Each structure stands twice: as C-alpha cells, then as structure tokens.
Chains A and B, each alone.
Chain A
Amino acid sequence: MTAQEFITAVTRQVHFFPDREQIGRELMDHLDDSAADLQEFEGLNERDAYAQAVENMGDPGEIGRALDRAHNTVGNWTWFVSKVLCILVCVLLGAPMVIGTVVSAGMSVYSMVDYSKDNVEFEAPVDTWVDVGETLELGPKRVTIDWVARLENGDVCIRYHSYSIGRAAWGVSSPEILVDDDMHYNGSGACYSGIITVGWVVREGVDGNAHTLTIGWPEWKDAEKSTVQIELPAREEGAA
C-alpha cells in the first residue's frame, strides 16, 4: 500500500469531509517524517522506507474510524454550515447592499452637485433666483426646497432634496408648484432617488409679473407643514 493509498483509505472513513484534506496533509507529514527517519537510521531506500512507514501506522480502517469519531461531531457540522451560510449571505446580500449603498451615496453627492445652482443647465437663461432652504414635513419624512429659478422663457424650476437613510417603504413624490394658489399639473422634472433624493421640477408658462408660489404637497394632510410660500418678484425690465 502506498502512502497515498493509505491516506485515501483513512480519510474515506471520515464523514466530516471538510477536514479530510487537512487530515490527509497531517498524515502525509507524519509519513514523510517517519520515512525520513527510516532512511536515515535504518538505511532503507525511499520506496521501502515509505512502505515501512505505512505499515507502522497500522490498520487504515481503524485509524479512519477513530478520526471519524473525533471529527464527525455536531459542533463541526454547525461550524461548517455557519461558514457556508455566512459566505452565501455575504456574497448574495451583504456585498450587493454595500456596493449599492456606496454607489447610491456617490450618485447622491453627484446629483447634489449636478443640480446645484452653479451647474444645473436650463433651457433658457435664469432671470430670477430665489433661495428657499425651507424644510417641509411629510409625516416622518423631511424634504428641503432648495431654490427657485424663473427662466426667461416662463419656466419656473425648483430644486428639492431629502435624505433617506432610514427604513422607508415609500419614496417622495415630486412637489407641486402652485402660482397664486391655482391648480396646475407640473411639467417636466427629474430626480435621483438614493440615500439622498435630489430632484427638480418645472412649472411652465409663468409670466414675468410678481407671483406668490406655493411649493410642496398642498394635498398632504398637514398642508401647513408640507408647503412653503415664496414671493416671486416681477421680472426686471430688460431681463427678457
């Protein structure tokens, strides 16, 4: 019986398969040491030394059964299951969550910068900026209306953002823009929804006169907290 055959015969008895390789390595180390001693002190050649070392080890079946009793335990199987489960959960859930969070954080920061006053690109020049900075309450959510821009083509754009770092089943819909309390559906808009939701929305066809804008969610239960009113000054002569 060669050393490898001996090791295979022993490890085949061990039902806790995750340990078979390590057991095999340890047995091989032992056989290597034993064969080296036999070569050095008994003058045997390598082949005979290994054969003698294997014979000295005893019955592989008996050794294997003893090792099986030592390794095939509930504790070892629990460890193995926990290891597999941990790897699966980390790969399938943990890694995507971490990657998603990092990407979302990055996209959020990018959107905040991209939609900032200095970088946002409108279809027409802005004739009036109004900084709002008002935080509205939508139940437990908070949404900040950042600024209002009136363009020379009559569009009124607002930018808003909110933080979503908690447990949230629902996102934030885009705010309404009411001009002098009229009811009107908003025009276009866009938003990035992530850890920070950043968006802008446009109300078209607003003339250059002074207006009171009601911005927010007027149909929310507590409209006082969910809307903000701002005074949009008349367009300066010669601006458009």
Chain B
Amino acid sequence: MTRRAKTVRNFAIVLVILAAVFWRAALYLTSDACVLASVEELGYGTCEIIRRDAYEDGYVYVLQAVDGEYVFHKTKRVGPFWHAGGGGSMNFVPQDGAPIDTTMWGNNEISYVICKRDDPDIARIEWVCKDGTVIAADDWTQDIILTVISSGLENAQGNVRAYDTAGNLVYEKEVIG
C-alpha cells in the first residue's frame, strides 16, 4: 500500500470514529440544531425558535410547539460542538386578567426568567430580585421576554413589575419559581 493510500485510509478511520462519537454523544454543529433535536426527542415535536439569549456556557431558548405550548431549553458548548442542557415547558394561560405571565427555572447559580405578555400595552418589565437587584427588559419577541439572571433561583424569586408604554406601573406580583 502506498503512503498516499495509507494517508487516505488513516483520515477515513479518523473521520469514521469522530463521526461515531459525535453522533452517539448527541453532539451538534450548531446550537439551534441541538435545541430543535433535543425538544423533539423530549416529545414536543417540531418547535419554532422564538428567541434565544446567551448565557455563560451556551444559549437559553424559548420555543413554541405546534400545539402552542412554550418550551424553554438550554444548550451548552462542548468544545466546537453543542449539547442539550435541559429545560421545561409552560402553557401560558392568562390568569385573572393579568397582563403578563411568568415562569422561571434554573439552579443555585443562574436563573432563567420567561415573561409572556397578554396585553400589548405592556412595554417594559422589571424583575426585582430578593437582594434588590432590578433587571429591566423591553425587548419583546412575539410577546416573549427571556432574561438570564446571574444569581440562583432563591434570590431570583422576587417581584415582577409591568409598565405600559407611558411608563406607568400597571401590574406587580410576587414570583415563585
């Protein structure tokens, strides 16, 4: 066997092994492909990505399933690839005329807050953590705001305030994750 043939053979073996590891470990080339495959595997079917925000290890997503359910999910970077990082789902059902609905998940170090507005007059929300930190957000995507809070769930479970376009506080509630 010539060296040229051996070179081709060696690279072919490397590619086959890398592909097998890549496939078996459920790694993906892009974060979006990773999250879509992961939520489908979890039974949500083909979802639409509503928005995504970066966090320290990857991206956090809000997606919408075909039946309208909102799915939130994380991806994390593994070298040059992406791996699914978990999440949950929520049917935002308007409650007692509240203009917004929220849900959150996370751990002891980081929290992810999702706010769905049911009243288009709501322009801005403020998330007030227990330690007094206030995080404001007004970048709605299809009536969804996704905010990453750099503190654990316990601290992040504070109050949420909603303001209208004139800046008036129209709604406030305590949030329990």
Contact present for A86 and B43 (CB under 8 Å): no
- State which of A90, A94, A221 has its C-beta within 8 Å of the C-beta of B43: A221
A189 to chain B, nearest CB (A): 21
B7 at the binding interface (Cβ < 8 Å): yes
- State which of B20, B41, B45 has its C-beta within 8 Å of the C-beta of A168: B41
Contact present for A82 and B7 (CB under 8 Å): yes
Question: A-facing mask of B52-96, CB < 8 A → 1, else 0?
Answer: 000000000000000101000000000000011000000000000
Contact present for B3 and A76 (CB under 8 Å): yes
Question: B-facing mask of A71-98, CB < 8 A → 1, else 0?
Answer: 0000110110011011001100110010
Please give me the residue from chain A that is nearest to B43 by CB atom: A139
B44 to chain A, nearest CB (A): 7
B136 at the binding interface (Cβ < 8 Å): no
A211 at the binding interface (Cβ < 8 Å): no
Q: Given the interface contacts A169-B37, A170-B38, does A94 sit within 8 Å of B17 by beta carbon?
A: yes
Q: Given the interface contacts A83-B6, A169-B83, does A89 sit within 8 Å of B40 by beta carbon?
A: no
The answer for the CA separation of A220 and B24 in the assembled complex, in Å, is 25
- State which of B3, B13, B21 has its C-beta within 8 Å of the C-beta of A97: B21
Contact present for A75 and B3 (CB under 8 Å): yes
- State which of A79, A90, A167, A221 has its C-beta within 8 Å of the C-beta of B26: A167
Contact present for A138 and B43 (CB under 8 Å): yes
Contact present for A97 and B24 (CB under 8 Å): yes
- State which of B20, B42, B69 has its C-beta within 8 Å of the C-beta of A139: B42
Q: Which residues of B contact A89 (CB under 8 A)?
A: 13-14, 17-18
Please give me the residue from chain A that is nearest to B6 by CB atom: A79
- State which of B17, B38, B44, B45 has its C-beta within 8 Å of the C-beta of A169: B38
Interface size on A, residues (CB 8 A): 24
Q: Which residues of B contact A76 (CB under 8 A)?
A: 3
Q: Measuring CB to CB, which residues of chain A are less than 8 angstroms from any residue of chain B? A: 75-76, 78-79, 82-83, 85-86, 89-90, 93-94, 97, 138-141, 167-170, 220-222
Contact present for B44 and A221 (CB under 8 Å): yes
The answer for the CA separation of A11 and B42 in the assembled complex, in Å, is 61
| With A79-B10, A169-B26, A170-B42 already in contact, 8 other A-B pairs whose C-beta atoms are closer than 8 Å | A75-B7, A79-B3, A79-B4, A86-B13, A89-B17, A139-B42, A140-B40, A221-B44
Please give me the residue from chain A that is nearest to B67 by CB atom: A221
Q: Which residues of A contact B13 (CB under 8 A)?
A: 86, 89-90, 94
The answer for the CA separation of A75 and B6 in the assembled complex, in Å, is 11
Q: Which residues of A contact B23 (CB under 8 A)?
A: 167
B6 to chain A, nearest CB (A): 6
Q: Which residues of B contact A138 (CB under 8 A)?
A: 43
Q: Which residues of A contact B37 (CB under 8 A)?
A: 167, 169
The answer for the CA separation of A31 and B6 in the assembled complex, in Å, is 31
The answer for the CA separation of A47 and B4 in the assembled complex, in Å, is 41
The answer for the CA separation of A82 and B14 in the assembled complex, in Å, is 8
Contact present for B41 and A140 (CB under 8 Å): yes
A-B contact pairs, 13 of them (CB 8 A): A76-B3, A79-B3, A79-B10, A82-B6, A86-B10, A89-B13, A89-B14, A90-B13, A94-B13, A97-B24, A140-B40, A169-B83, A222-B43
The answer for the CA separation of A221 and B90 in the assembled complex, in Å, is 12
A168 to chain B, nearest CB (A): 6
